């Protein structure tokens, strides 16, 4: 990802520009803290500031989170221009959104490119291409004529559509009537943004977007399902969003959305055991090992627990150390603590 220039970042934090939140963080050498660009605290002198692309790098450099803007917590809703842009795309995913189009909307193309790269793991144009192809794929599966799909989803020729489709899905359009794809969607939460993925059978991934293993988890999904991953939404993601909202509001204790979690036989035993840990309770790795009739496999249980791809719904956060300490968590121990506190209050 292209990091903003020092001048651009300096202007952003001096203006307290929230649209840069999540794009970079500023750290203050004289105080030892790091902040969001929009932090309302008194702005430091430029000579005392250095910039980081992630909270992880700021922490590893020895800085601590600001208590005013709380950069380790959820950003909240996306910047206004992002929500406006996503809404525009969803209303008409067939349009090609050029740089000139973005400028007419008052959006700088380089900013859109950086935000989408950081938040979705792809450039804005790649997101649009994936959205077009994902929509066309669903149309093909539902029986729409190939000519209508090719010319109705932003492609000027059949050959251009066919080449783009095959590159993404691995099959020509005519061979995809019964095909499958994994659709992904961004979900805001009080504890930070999440990315969800689902097949036609159910949710196959739910992770906090700053998890280090996220790329690896997506690679595993590609191997297991042997299909493309594209931005979009289906009925399972719609249901998940609703249930997560209720969960964070404290009105839901269990999830009913379908989940699919292929893995090794041992991993699946562990993940099924996690689903049996009641809300508001915890279990040790040793407890889980006993639950699956493998009492000497606590270390292997820990590894399988860490490989869980469906956070919160498959509650790996409810597994703690035998001595009562929280232990590790892919989404960060601070999130594990907050999830457990949320569940105990229900």
Q: Is 23 left (phi over 0), alpha (psi -120 to 50) or beta?
A: alpha
Count CA atoms within 13 Å of residue 257 on its CB side.
33
8 Å CB contact between 201 and 262: no
> Going edge to edge, which strands form the sheet with 182-187?
203-208, 194-198, 182-187, 229-231
Task: Detail the DSSP E strand segments found in 213-284.
Answer: 229-231, 283-284
Give yes or no: 316 in active site: yes
Between CA 289 and CA 296, with CA 294 as vertex, the angle to 5 degrees is 80
8 Å CB contact between 228 and 168: yes
The DSSP element (H or E) to which 268 belongs, if any, is helix 265-274
Q: What 3-state class would DSSP assign to 147?
A: helix
The DSSP element (H or E) to which 184 belongs, if any, is strand 182-187
Catalytic, out of 35, 39, 128, 316: 316
d(CA 226, CA 195): 20
| Residues constituting the chain | 346
8 Å CB contact between 217 and 210: no
> Going edge to edge, which strands form the sheet with 33-35?
49-52, 25-28, 33-35, 64-65
8 Å CB contact between 273 and 298: no
Q: Which residues are catalytic?
A: 316
């Amino acid at each position: 990802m292209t990091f903003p220039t020092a001048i651009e970042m300096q202007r952003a934090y001096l203006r307290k520009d929230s649209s840069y939140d999540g794009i970079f963080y500023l750290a203050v050498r004289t105080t030892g803290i790091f902040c969001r660009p929009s932090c309302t605290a008194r702005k430091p002198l430029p000579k005392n500031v250095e910039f980081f692309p992630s909270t992880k790098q700021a922490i590893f450099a020895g800085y601590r989170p600001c208590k005013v803007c709380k950069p380790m917590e959820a950003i909240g809703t996306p910047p206004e221009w992002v929500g406006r842009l996503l809404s525009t795309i969803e209303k008409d995913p067939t349009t090609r959104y050029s740089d000139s189009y973005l400028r007419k909307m008052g959006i700088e193309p380089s900013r859109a490119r950086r935000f989408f790269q950081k938040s979705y793991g792809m450039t804005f144009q790649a997101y649009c291409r994936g959205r077009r192809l994902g929509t066309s794929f669903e149309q093909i599966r539902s029986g729409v004529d190939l000519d209508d799909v090719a010319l109705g989803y932003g492609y000027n020729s059949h050959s251009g559509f066919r080449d783009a489709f095959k590159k993404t899905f691995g099959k020509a359009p005519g061979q995809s009537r019964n095909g499958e794809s994994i659709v992904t969607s961004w979900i805001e939460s009080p504890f930070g943004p999440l990315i969800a993925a689902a097949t036609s059978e159910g949710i196959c991934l739910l992770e906090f977007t700053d998890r280090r293993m996220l790329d690896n988890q997506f690679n595993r999904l590609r191997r297991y399902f042997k299909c493309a991953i594209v931005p979009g939404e289906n009925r399972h993601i719609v249901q998940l969003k609703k249930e997560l909202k209720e969960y964070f509001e404290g009105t839901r204790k269990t999830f009913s959305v379908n989940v699919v979690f292929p893995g090794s036989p041992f991993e699946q035993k562990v993940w099924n055991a996690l689903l049996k840990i009641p809300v508001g309770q915890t279990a040790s790795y040793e407890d889980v090992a006993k639950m699956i009739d493998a009492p000497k496999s606590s270390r292997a249980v820990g590894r399988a627990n860490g490989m869980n791809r469906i956070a919160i719904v498959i509650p790996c956060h409810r597994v703690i150390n035998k001595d009562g300490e929280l232990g590790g968590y892919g989404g960060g121990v601070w999130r594990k603590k907050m999830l457990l506190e949320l569940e105990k209050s229900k």
